[in-house]
Amino acid sequence: MMDHATRVGNRLLAALPPADFALLAPHLRKVVIERDSVLVRSGDRIEHLLFPLTGAIASIMELPNGQTVATAIIGREGAVGLTSALGTSHSPSTAVVRISGAALQISPARFLAAQHRSTQIASMVQVFTRSLLMQLQHVAACNALHSVEARLACWLLHIHDRANGGDLLPLTQETLSELLGVRRTTVTHVVSTMRASRALKSNRRGALEIDRPRLEAMACECYKVMSRRIDRIVSHGAVGLVHGAPPRSASRSAGSRIAGTGS
């Protein structure tokens, strides 16, 4: 019989000791996250926490003048809405699904109740917060210092890492404009440049086919540095969770399955 770390596809949840995970398991519900769906808008109340199993979600900052720019990409190493566990009931950014997939959903109230009973779940929130802050800081520096071509290559690599397989990414030029915070005309020029270098094999309607080795050569050093740092934070945090203190209260067994009717 597989243990929960094998069965649970989200790295944050999988790192929890079985007894702590059992506090959440009865209330987790598996949901489909569809491409281009808005999970929560900036300023809206956080109604659900989502722990992605597959797919990629972009955290988008929306300015008053209507301009947008991506600040983070979240996949199975993270969560959406987890800031509610820090006492923030409204979302600081807009979360948009860029690669469809699946996630485990739980209400903030259920999650907070479990967090109050488990120091390990509280530590998991801290692990994710460190990872997210690192990504936000790195993206800010990259946006200020590096070319649009290098930045686009980084975003495409991060999204490809979280995609469900294959080199065809379902991304429109409008989506790329939103990710980069630039105009569509700039995106058209950048995509043309990347096609000329063969980092993009084709530019089908509504999708981009990438050549990963060439894309890695075009990206700035931010991609590898950020990827290593996120992995280090999540991996080291996972080790701490597995070997940390037991939950304050964990009456349910580790074998509790993920319920299909939780909230």
The answer on pLDDT for 263 being more than 50 is no
The model's pTM: 0.85
* 84: DSSP letter: G
Fold of 147-219: Arc Repressor Mutant, subunit A (1.10.10)
Burial 55-69 (b: 16+ CB within 10 A, else e): bbbbbbbeeeeeebb
d(CA 88, CA 241): 24
Report whether pLDDT(2) > 70: no
pLDDT at 87: 80
Q: What is the pLDDT of residue 201?
A: 85
Q: What is the pLDDT of residues 26-37, one digit of tens each?
A: 999 999 999 999
In angstroms, the CA 30 to CA 159 distance is 22
Q: Residue 131: which residues within 8 A CB-CB, separation 6 or more?
A: 77, 78, 230, 233, 234, 237
Confidence of residue 243 (pLDDT cuts 50, 70, 90): low
Q: What is the pLDDT of residue 238?
A: 65
H or E element: which one contains 121? helix 119-145
The first and second tokens of residue 67, run together, are 């301009």
Q: Are 98 and 58 in contact (CB under 8 A)?
A: yes
Question: Which pLDDT does position 58 carry in this prediction?
Answer: 95
What does the pLDDT look like over 204-228, one tens digit per residue? 677 899 999 999 999 999 999 989 9
pLDDT tens by residue, 145-203:
999 999 999 999 999 999 877 889 999 988 999 889 899 999 999 999 999 999 998 76
- In the chain the first and final C-alpha atoms are separated, in Å, by 26
The CA distance from 163 to 208, in Å, is 13
pLDDT digits (tens, 9 = 90+) for 103-143: 999 999 999 999 999 999 999 999 999 999 988 998 999 98
Q: Which fold has domain 9-145+229-238?
A: Jelly Rolls (2.60.120)
Pairing relationship of beta strands 38-40 and 168-169 according to DSSP bridges = unpaired
Q: Are 81 and 40 in contact (CB under 8 A)?
A: yes
In 3D space, the residue among 147, 143, 145, 150 whose CA is nearest the CA of residue 199 turns out to be 150
Q: Which residue has the tokens 């995509």?
A: 191
Domain regions of the chain by residue span: 9-145+229-238, 147-219
